[in-house]
């Protein structure tokens, strides 16, 4: 705290830039959501490899947009899109109520 660094810096992972310095950061919440999304993809039988690739692409897109615009771009919405888009059809099927059982 006395060094002048922000207290949240401890809860983030720095992504180093090629020329030195920082290209951006991955917050602890982003890492937790990536882990939760990966666990849910495994548990609910979603497309695991495509989901992981989609989340990685979402994270990379947030980093590229941050560098291109020189603004802080939140990674979580793009990571969530990478999770949801490859599995939209399966998620809709899981959320749709099953037809009532008929009695004979």
pTM above 0.85, yes or no: no
Q: What is the pLDDT of residue 96?
A: 82
Hey, what are 95's tokens? 């959320």
Q: What is the pLDDT of residues 38-94, one digit of tens each?
A: 999 989 888 999 999 999 999 889 888 887 887 878 889 999 999 999 999 888 887
Query: How many C-beta atoms surround the C-beta of residue 101 within 10 A?
Result: 6
Do 58 and 75 touch, CB atoms closer than 8 A? yes
Q: What is the pLDDT of residue 50?
A: 94
Strands 12-16 and 22-27 turn out to be: antiparallel
Q: Which residues contact 104 (CB under 8 A, 6 or more apart)?
A: none
pLDDT higher than 60, residue 14: yes
């Amino acid at each position: 705290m006395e060094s002048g660094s922000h207290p949240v810096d401890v809860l983030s992972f720095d992504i180093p830039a090629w020329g030195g310095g920082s290209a951006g950061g991955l917050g602890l919440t982003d890492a937790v959501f990536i882990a939760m999304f990966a666990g849910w993809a495994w548990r609910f039988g979603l497309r695991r490899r495509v989901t992981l690739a989609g989340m990685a692409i979402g994270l990379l897109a947030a980093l590229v947009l941050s560098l291109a615009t020189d603004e802080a771009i939140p990674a979580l919405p793009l990571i969530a899109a990478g999770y949801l888009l490859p599995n939209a059809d399966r998620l809709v099927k899981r959320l749709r109520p099953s037809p009532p059982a008929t009695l004979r």
